[in-house]
Amino acid sequence: MIATVLLIGFALAIAAVVIFWGTGIIRGQIDKTAGFAQGKLDCESQVEIDVEDARCKPGGGAVIVDVENLKSIALPNLRGRVVGDNSQATSSIAGVALNGNEKKTIEFVYDTTKISMPKAIEVIPVWYSGDEQATCDSRKVAIEIDASTC
């Protein structure tokens, strides 16, 4: 009888440890996911860009675009995805911040071993919500590159 009571008590103690441990893991995952989800929501409501012109840099290896931030909030960075005539694509980070309602000429480099003739570029805003980085894929702008400049 004493052994049965001790066995039940031991089982309950193990169950309590597992429950507290599992709760901590679940809370950690919720916190990580919440930051990412908030970043995506912020992308939808606070980010919008326009790309007016895309041309090749003389000498090749880069595409120059005129990008305008249509919202009042600053964008810490932009990603460019250059698509070539062979349907291959390379992407690069501009490393340039775009302030609210600002227009800049930005250069995106591409891998010349993968793309011989660039055809189009997608400019994708990068947004930070707290410490989480979110690439705003839903707000990307695609434009064909002026072939006469390549």
Higher pLDDT, 52 or 13: 52
- Write down the domain spans for the chain: 44-149
Q: How far apart are the first and last CA of the chain?
A: 88
Binning pLDDT at 50, 70 and 90, where does residue 133 land?
confident
Give the separation between CA 82 and CA 86, rounded to whole angstroms. Answer: 11
DSSP, collapsed to helix, strand or coil, labels residue 4 as helix
Going by C-alpha positions, the residue among 54, 66, 67, 68 that lies closest to residue 118 is 54
In terms of average pLDDT, the best of 6-10, 28-32, 36-40, 61-65 is 61-65
Amino acid identity of residue 129, one-letter, is: S
Looking at residue 32, its pLDDT comes to 72
Looking at residue 101, its pLDDT comes to 95
The contacts of residue 100 (CB under 8 Å, 6+ apart) are: 69, 71, 72, 73, 74
Whole-number percent of the chain with pLDDT over 90: 35
Degrees (nearest 5) of the Cα angle 128, 109, 129?
Answer: 0
- Of 1.10.30, 1.10.3210, 2.60.40, 2.60.120, the CATH number of 44-149 is 2.60.40
Residues in the chain: 150
Looking at residue 34, its pLDDT comes to 63
CA distances from 137 to 78, 97, 100, 122 (A): 11, 17, 19, 10
Q: What is the pLDDT of residues 82-116, one digit of tens each?
A: 999 887 888 888 888 899 999 999 999 998 888 88
